[in-house]
Amino acid sequence: MSTLVIVESPTKARTIRNFLPSTYRVEASMGHVRDLPSSAEEIPEAVKGEKWAQLGVNVEADFEPLYVIPKDKKKIVKELKDALKDATELILATDEDREGESISWHLLQILKPKVPIKRMVFHEITREAIRDALTHCRDIDNRVVQAQETRRILDRLVGYTLSPLLWKKIAWGLSAGRVQSVAVRLLVRRERERRAFRQGSYWDLKALLEKGKISFDAKLVTVGNVKVANGSDFDENTGQIIAGRRVLLLNEEQARALLSRIQNKPWTVGNIEERPVTRKPSPPFTTSTLQQEANRKLRLGARETMRIAQSLYERGFITYMRTDSVHLSEQAIAAARSCVQELYGSEYLSPQPRKYTTKSKGAQEAHEAIRPAGSTFRTPQQTGLDGIDFRLYDLIWKRTVASQMADSRQTHVTVQTQVEDAGFRSSGKRIDFPGFLRAYVEGSDDPNAALEDQEVILPALKVGDKPNCKDLEAVGHETQPPARYTEASLVKMLESEGVGRPSTYASIIGTIVDRGYAKLIANALIPTFTAFAVTTLLETHFPDLVDTGFTSRMEQTLDEIATGEAKWLPYLQKFYTGETGLATQVKEQESQIDAKVARTVVLENITAKVCIGKFGAYLESESEEGLVKASIPQDLTPADLDPEQVEFLLKQKTEGPEKLGLHPETGEPIYVLIGSYGPYVQLGEVSETNKKPKRASLPKGTDKDSVTLDMAVSLLTLPRLLGTHPETGAKVQANLGMYGPYVVHDQGKVGKDYRSIKPPDDVLTITLDRALEMLAQPKAARGSSKTATPLKELGAHPESGELINVYDGRYGPYVKHGDINASLAKDESVENFTLQKALDLLAAKEAAGGGKSSSKSKKSTKTAAAKSETATKKTTTAKKTTAAKSETAAKKTTAKKTETAAKKTTAKKTATATTAKKTTKSS
């Protein structure tokens, strides 16, 4: 007797296999095994002539979907059918959400099993969970399948009906979507707000006061009992004070006059207010809150977060990662409280177990929040994970454990001080008991927001005290436009508006970027001109489809179909057919949409037309010589396009590029131009004999008007050959690339080693010695905003010979050796930190289980030290003292190899050095 178990992925299959008896065979379907046709070639010959075939849904026959098995799934289906022949039972163990239910249903339709069938669901992949799920199998939930099928059909109707209209009226390859188009509209609306924004300016005073040798800040808030204006008092559309606000707006002259008047006058404490504040921990993660927090703290996109979380789930580290629920099982609550008790002590436990409930009606994707898997939680250090897997698990672990911790108790202190008629305010925060903040601090979308666990200590003050004023300055401010959406804030907005399902947000944001509706720059989603054109067309002709309220109600109906409260067929008929249905609307509106108008983006203060063309956005303007067209640089956004830029782009097209001067050596003219990828300098003119003149992009942040002839000449020398690498003989260059300036150690076929050039280093002046120093440093971790430059170099490890350095980390300075990081004590000075202290700290961390496979790390570093004189020499650039010690150790075992290598060809020297470098890297 054998049982066939089908799951979605090979990783999930491998994990589950470990928990089942040998009579169970576990296979993967690789996701969906059939779907609506994605191209014309997938449509069966029997229905190719039908007018609904391209749609993939027979709208004339009760919206019957046309399901096909894609080419890449036919082999998998055959393998599953073959496996079923030998089985006496079939268990469908796909994910417990709607998508998983749908996959199981499709498998059932294709395989047509003649053996008993069971549907097994679980929210974590542990031995206990799998064994328990085996004893609680059920049938496929047809209502959930129907809801998912309705969702799929609805999305196809919207996408395949509107997208062809966009191809005809705007540009080929564009797409519309039920949730995607609403999300794009949110981005466009925010960009319109930024464009309409008018900046306001105001001044105030900032003082540094002192009492009892403790300094604290104070900010001007009133003059003559009238509130001093700040950023919140301005109208974003006018840049002026909001009508009706009774505030005092200070300009620079007035602020400095006030400063002079009160400069040496006595300060008096007028009022002190202490307000106790209790903060509760956040609930454990749902899909959307995990995406938001991973974006804020780890700088991960939604897609990347879900990919990593999927992997963690399938390997048994966390529970199911597609869920709207914040609920924790009794088992999970007990496990979290046990962690708190063991790691922090009983005083950090919440008095009673915290039970979280989900307020959203549609929260039914899964039964529990995202948490570490199992009845006991492995600490992040116990998992054996590393890199970004470790960091995401660490985030989930901390959030779950913190959810069962005691409240944080703080006291907020406000001190009012008076100097003549000027009132100042100082704000302090005292953490009386950290509670859950010991484990976890939630991130914020506001970069200026203070962290919850950050104390601001004020001196002991009482009314009537007269603090000393150590410094007083006038400070100018300018109001800022509304912040662009990040992936985190867009996910938050979509969820709050009830648009779409959190489990789909990652793919939606990915599609928006992939289809050219937005660019992801510095973690901000910036809509393109194409997004403006598409949104304007949909707002004008199909307003309901991009209305958040309409889309939210649609989502509620789909949820009601899943619970049996609504019928799917009448809903689809009303939405698509009939007098007000989508199909009718598209037919009526198509003739009314002028393609030229649809391709034109209207922007205030821009007299030229902005049009969408085959190769992107361009300007169109009438001149005396006729119609002039000029491409808009791809990195120029709608909010940043101003009349001056428009004038320059058009002038460049009609009068030719701006000439800086002549090259001092060749005599050729040097021009400054703006192209599709931004401003650049060009040597000479384009001609029949010079079709591709030498060009160089301007460094990021460099304005075209600030480019001098000398700078242009220097840029045209890029890439600069700095010299040859002393170990490999390969060239070292400095250049400008897509992501900014860099140095590269180019070893040809062996590979290239890059390092980014950060200020104060300059691509035009950097030396070979500095480049070698940078190349000797380890690369910064991917996605890290910190550089790999150490705060302090301590020396070589006595066993491995590797440098031990102190680095600046997210939570303060830390010492690093191999895979082991150890934080310095809060009162430890970096300047006075020694190599011996570092060795003691690292040894203690390793003994406590810190770092990944520390014994393996030791072994590999010893091997590297023994094998690689070249690797030792590399450290010479970083520190001569360290190099002397390391070189001595390395020479003992490598003298013969080095002597032999010296007699060989230069090519072999390079290969040897490369091998040594790889060995060092592996350590």
User: Which active-site residues does the annotation give?
Assistant: 320
In the block, tokens 């922007």 appear at: 603
- Phi/psi at 224 (5° precision): 60, 40
Closest CA to 323 of 303, 343, 306: 306
Residues with Cβ < 8 Å from 917, sequence gap 6 or more? 727, 868, 870, 871, 874
In the block, tokens 């170099």 appear at: 793
Alpha-carbon distance of 164 to 172, in angstroms, equals 8
Closest CA to 796 of 897, 896, 871: 871
Beta bridge partners of 424: 220, 417
Contact 18, 315 (CB under 8 A): no
Angle between the 582-590 and 568-576 helix axes, to the nearest 10 degrees? Answer: 10
Tally of CB atoms within 10 A around 849: 10
Alpha-carbon distance of 565 to 561, in angstroms, equals 6
Residues with Cβ < 8 Å from 665, sequence gap 6 or more? none
Alpha-carbon distance of 292 to 301, in angstroms, equals 9
Closest CA to 149 of 66, 74, 72: 66
Contact 533, 515 (CB under 8 A): no
Closest CA to 124 of 369, 290, 296, 342: 369
**Which tokens belong to 445?**
């979308």
Q: Beta strand 720-724 with 695-697: parallel, antiparallel or unpaired?
A: unpaired
Residue type, 793: E
Contact 877, 773 (CB under 8 A): yes
**Which tokens belong to 464?**
């009537």
Which of the 8 DSSP states describes residue 481? Answer: P
In the block, tokens 């570092």 appear at: 838
Alpha-carbon distance of 545 to 180, in angstroms, equals 10
Tally of CB atoms within 10 A around 351: 7
Contact 392, 305 (CB under 8 A): yes
Residue type, 198: R
Beta bridge partners of 720: 734
Residues with Cβ < 8 Å from 843, sequence gap 6 or more? none
Alpha-carbon distance of 421 to 136, in angstroms, equals 75
**Which tokens belong to 753?**
């080693």
Alpha helices in 91-179 (DSSP H): 98-111, 127-134, 142-169
Closest CA to 251 of 480, 478, 481: 478
3-state secondary structure of 414: strand
Determine the distance from the C-alpha atom of residue 744 to the mean position of all C-alpha atoms in its chain, rounded to a whole number. Answer: 27
Contact 372, 400 (CB under 8 A): yes
